[in-house]
Structure 1
Amino acid sequence: MTTAPRGGAPGEGRYGEAVFPPERAGEGERIDFGALAYDDITMARFRALGVGPGWRCLDVGAGTGTVSRRLLDEAGVTGVLAVDRDVRFLVERPVTGLDVIEADVTDPDFDPGRFRLVHARFVLMHLPERDRVIRRLAELVEPGGLLVLSDAVDLTSDRAPGTPYATVMRAMWQALGETIGTDVSQVPAYPQLLRGAGLVPVAAEIHVPPLLAGSPISRFWADTWERSRAPMLATGLVDDAAVDAAIRYLGSDECAALSAGMLTAWGRKPGESP
């Protein structure tokens, strides 16, 4: 991002290259742990916004496709176009109504059509072109349709208790900033960015999943730390012993910490749906 978290320099790599390569064994399972923690919240927001039959949807950075498939199975939408820079997890599980394209949302020529729902989760926080991409995604929403964006908010501030979890989370955010440019510091500005993109009304909410031993979110963070261990060590903020201690802490009843939250912001395109 333009400003890396905790003062680090913006990274020059990209998600899926410097860290979290999709070809690494178990990467799909790591993504699915995150889906187990957040998909119900995403689907509840879709239902509250009226997403349902007759809607054509675009799912950007669709990952393993859990949200895309639930839109079809539970919301009963007409169709979903799932987009990712690497679609190996999407094509492994084809379903009726799900179309898949391999594309880069930051490409100026990215133009898959117009949709009643455009959704991206845990995508924009990794992109240096975030503001431009939000404006572009807003252009892909048809009149009367919705843009729904979700990204992480860091709750391990300098005033948070000094737990093994907080120590390693701070190192992780700095490491991801330095390697791939991840920046969650501007996520609270999403409602204003959506309004600036011409959407009205806009609103937002935050969900913080509980960190319980063996829970999907705890397993997601433990796996994420293992897969980003090298860049975390390179920050100098932690060593192997600190990472190992934090993983044990997550898996124990001693854990007393706040996970990163998921901020979801949404806005509607003025006009009437076709």
Structure 2
Amino acid sequence: MAQQPATPAPYRTGVLSNDTPRERERLEAIQRNVDAFTTGILQDLPLQASWHCLELGAGAGSIAYWLFERCPKGRVVAVDLDTRHLDAGRAANLEIQQADITSDGYAPGSFDLIHARYLYCHLPTRDAMVERATRWLAPGGWLVIEEPYHLPAETSPFPSVQRILAAYQHMYRDNGADMTWARGLPALLARSGLAEVSFTGNLGCMGGLDKDRWRPLITQAAPALLAEGLVTEADLGEFSTLLDDPAFIDIPQVTVSAWGRRPTQLPAAPAAS
């Protein structure tokens, strides 16, 4: 298998890595806010107890743990660049792998289900990596990918949110991420040979006392944003005050979830004329 470019340094040791002190808090905030949506999609697939599953970019592990309970006769492989937040002792059919999927891979036909969330938009050769994942599917297997589509920062009705989101999006762009790539995901799955391609969206919520996902995200990024002069302490203070206001609600992004199935048989070759 050809070697792919390594995952960018910021995800290994920089502001976007597990070395940041609030990374666990950020991962858990994501899980609290989007796991129900993710598991709803997975539940609608014909999950079998014997399935072999691959969770790419497993993070703090909630989806991998959910899968091993539903596939007790199969196995779940949870892979991440850094596995410190994963617990291999949770189940006998759970395997934790620390690996960089941009340089490591799996044998063709290995998995009945592959799932990834908020991963591919950060990879340097994201389209090619999706195509690689389709080859890891067994015939009839499913690939489910969920990625954020950031709405334009300037469209927020809150000036401080405009400044914070513009800086946050700038940081990701500078580190090679594409937060609008998700729009083309369904078409990419179809071009990669998957059938029964479908998709849906999950509106992100910023604000509301019961959905405080963005505080740990911005808190984690704040030192880098301040150091680069992208925001001020006043911006961060105003943003924190907004998050404490139960009347504050904004929609910063949409998560695009797309999935498709590897055909059980390849299409027949056209008859010779």
Partner of 2:257: 264
1:259 deviates by 3.5
Q: Sort the Cα spacing of 1:66 and 1:112 in 2 relative to 1 into closer, same or farther, 3 A.
A: farther
1:94 deviates by 3.1
1:254 deviates by 3.5
Whole-angstrom CA distance in 1 between matches of 2:61 and 2:201: 22
Partner of 2:203: 208
Unaligned runs of 5+ in 1: 1-10
Q: Sort the Cα spacing of 1:196 and 1:132 in 2 relative to 1 into closer, same or farther, 3 A.
A: same
Out of 54, 77, 80, the position equivalent to 1:81 is: 77
What is the one-letter code of the residue matched to 1:120?
Answer: A
What are the within-5 Å matches in structure 2 for residues 104-183 of structure 1? Answer: 104-107=100-103, 109-111=104-106, 114-178=110-174, 180-183=175-178
Contact residue 63 and residue 89 of structure 1 kept, 8 A:
yes
What SS does the corresponding residue of 2:85 show, helix, strand or coil?
A: helix
Whole-angstrom CA distance in 2 between matches of 1:177 and 1:22: 19
Give the alignment's Cα RMSD to 1 decimal.
Answer: 2.2
1:252 deviates by 1.3
Partner of 1:90: 86
Contact residue 156 and residue 252 of structure 2 kept, 8 A:
no
Partner of 2:46: 50
1:213 deviates by 3.3
Contact residue 81 and residue 100 of structure 1 kept, 8 A:
yes
What SS does the corresponding residue of 1:198 show, helix, strand or coil?
A: coil
Whole-angstrom CA distance in 2 between matches of 1:124 and 1:244: 32
Whole-angstrom CA distance in 1 between matches of 2:12 and 2:94: 23
Contact residue 60 and residue 119 of structure 1 kept, 8 A:
yes
User: Relative contact order, CA 8 A, sep 6+: which one is greater?
Assistant: 1
Contact residue 175 and residue 235 of structure 1 kept, 8 A:
no
**Segment of structure 1 superposing worse, 73-82 or 150-159:** 73-82
What TM-score do the two structures reach when normalised by structure 1? 0.86
What is the one-letter code of the residue matched to 2:41?
Answer: R
Whole-angstrom CA distance in 2 between matches of 1:77 and 1:213: 41
What TM-score do the two structures reach when normalised by structure 2? 0.86
Out of 214, 239, 243, the position equivalent to 2:232 is: 239
Out of 60, 65, 69, the position equivalent to 1:69 is: 65
Unaligned runs of 5+ in 2: 1-6, 266-273
Out of 180, 190, 200, the position equivalent to 1:195 is: 190
Whole-angstrom CA distance in 1 between matches of 2:38 and 2:73: 15
Whole-angstrom CA distance in 1 between matches of 2:157 and 2:89: 42
Whole-angstrom CA distance in 2 between matches of 1:30 and 1:236: 23
1:176 deviates by 1.8
What is the one-letter code of the residue matched to 2:56?
Answer: V
Whole-angstrom CA distance in 2 between matches of 1:91 and 1:198: 34
1:230 aligns with 2:223: yes
Out of 245, 249, 273, the position equivalent to 1:252 is: 245
Aligned residues: 258
What are the within-5 Å matches in structure 2 for residues 12-51 of structure 1? Answer: 13-51=9-47
Whole-angstrom CA distance in 2 between matches of 1:28 and 1:92: 17
- Over alpha carbons, which structure has the higher Rg? 2
Contact residue 164 and residue 242 of structure 1 kept, 8 A:
yes
**Segment of structure 1 superposing worse, 89-98 or 221-230:** 89-98
Query: Percent same amino acid among aligned pairs?
Result: 26
Task: Spell out, residue by residue over 1:222-260, the C-alpha distance to the aligned partner (whole angstroms, 9 max, x if none).
Answer: 111111113323554421210221122122123131142
